[in-house]
Amino acid sequence: MLVGFAFDVALAKRPDSIVDNILLLSYLVAAGVLIVVLNRREMLRKEKTSAEPLFLLLILQFCFGGLASNLLVLYGHSGTLAGSAIFLGVLGALVVGNEYLRNRYTRLRFNIAVYYFLLLTYCVIAVPTFLFHSVGTLIFILSGFISLLCMAAFTFVLWSTVLYRTKRGLPDTIIIVATIFALFNGLYFLDIIPPVPLSVKNIGVYHSVLRQSDGNYLATYEPAPWWAFWQDTSGIYTLTPGESAFCFSSVFAPTGLSTAVYHRWEEYDSQSAQWQTMSRVAFNISGGRQEGYRGWTMKSNLTPGQWRCDVETGAGALVGRVNFTVVAASTTPQLSQTAL
């Protein structure tokens, strides 16, 4: 499991990778064929004595594990851990549980549930990346319907080989698929599913951002303390009179995909214990750049307190976030410069 997950971490770096998508499609096709073969054998085994096909079970286990771990990496690159923890937890549980559920792989209901969940999870990435080159609620809905069409074709094959021999096979399949489809859509509209295929490569709050003649940006910032090794900019923004803050982000999108993203500046209101939106600024991004499409917005009239800048889609799905605390001061703090 650990070796396979490490392999997927190295391979699944971007959702528009042709090699990675060929691998994922191979897993899906192989898993579908194996589900048919295994359940056909299981149906016949009730009438004839035959050994359990351990080799085929191991291959199906490998396909499910490869799909789950690869998709976990791709979804893990998108959104925030706090906002997507539930969905990522489900994928993570499937990766780990796959190692211990081999004895269930001859059960048709279990196979259908896992297979459709992974198929739908993949379609939500692949459809906007390769078919529509856009993201949003409509694209998500279309991705779901395309997954249903694929599952309908798969169910037809199952009916021709296995389900026609069972009384509850087809109704159970419809119920399982409909339930997963409904739950998946519920998680999406609750903003629990990461906004794939978008992901934030870099985000921070700076004291200034200047575009240079070579197309790069030169930014000044307060360095993070030595122990905060996971971030470059400090979580403290020292505000001098008349100064503004700059939120700079690099958002990755697949090649050919263009969409609008938003920077939402929010301040925490301690009295109401809620975040208040102070401004929401849009700019367009284009996909293809490995390091992400760069953009920044400025916020003036800052006041001391807790702030954050969210990067989100037009539908409000959270792509990334930076939190910081504004502290008033009369003198400029020690700043560093970096190229972005």
In this predicted model, what pLDDT tens digit does every residue of 230-270 receive, in sequence order?
A: 788 999 999 999 899 999 999 999 999 999 999 999 999 99
Residue 204 pLDDT: 94
Residues 276 and 167 in one domain: no
Q: Are 161 and 298 contained in the same domain?
A: no
- Say yes or no to pLDDT of 4 above 70: no
Amino acid type, 72: L
User: Is 283 inside any structural domain?
Assistant: yes
Q: Is the pLDDT of residue 55 over 80?
A: yes
> Is residue 226 exposed (0-12), middle (13-18) or buried (19+ Cβ within 10 Å)?
exposed
Q: What are phi and psi of 102, to 5 degrees?
A: -60, -35
Are residues 305 and 247 part of one domain?
yes
Please indicate, yes or no, if residue 244 is contained in any of the structural domains.
Answer: yes
- The per-residue pLDDT for 195 is 93
pLDDT at 5 over 70: no
31 shares its domain with 158: yes
Average pLDDT value over all residues in the chain: 88
pLDDT of amino acid 2: 58
Is 40 or 96 the better-scoring residue by pLDDT? 40
Query: Residue 260 sits in a domain of what CATH number?
Result: 2.60.40.1930
Residue where a domain terminates, one of 142, 163, 189 = 189
Domain end residue (candidates: 189, 210, 235): 189
pLDDT at 320: 94
Does residue 163 form part of some domain? yes
pLDDT value of residue 246: 97
Domain assignment of residue 100, yes or no: yes
Say yes or no: 171 and 215 in one domain.
no
pTM, rounded to two decimals: 0.89
Q: Highest mean pLDDT: which of 32-46, 47-61, 220-234?
A: 220-234
Same-domain status, 181 and 232: no
Do 181 and 61 belong together in one domain? yes
Is the pLDDT higher at 215 or at 274? 274
In which band, very low, low, confident or very high, does the pLDDT at 100 lie, cut at 50, 70 and 90? Answer: low
- pLDDT tier at 3 (50, 70, 90 boundaries)? low
The boundaries of the domain holding residue 49 are 2-189
What pLDDT, on a 0 to 100 scale, did the predictor assign at position 105? Answer: 59
Q: Is residue 66 part of a domain?
A: yes
Query: Are 172 and 273 contained in the same domain?
Result: no
Residue at a domain's end among 132, 155, 189:
189
Query: Residues 96, 73: one domain?
Result: yes
Residue 272 confidence (pLDDT) above 70: yes
Q: What's the pLDDT at 91?
A: 82
Residues 210 and 151 in one domain: no
pLDDT band at 57 (very low <50, low <70, confident <90, very high): confident
| 167, 253: one domain | no
Q: Distance from CA of residue 56 to its chain's centroid?
A: 30
Residue 15 is assigned to a structural domain of this protein = yes
Total number of domains in the chain: 2
Q: Which of 113-127, 152-166, 200-214, 311-325 has the lowest mean pLDDT?
A: 152-166
Q: Which whole number is the average pLDDT over 218-236?
A: 89
Is there a domain that residue 194 lies in?
no
Q: What gap in Å lies between CA 207 and CA 299, rounded to an integer?
A: 11
* 103 in the same domain as 45: yes
- Choice among 83-87, 172-176, 203-207 with the minimum mean pLDDT: 83-87
CB 30 within 8 A of CB 63: yes
Question: For 159-179, what is the mean pLDDT?
Answer: 83
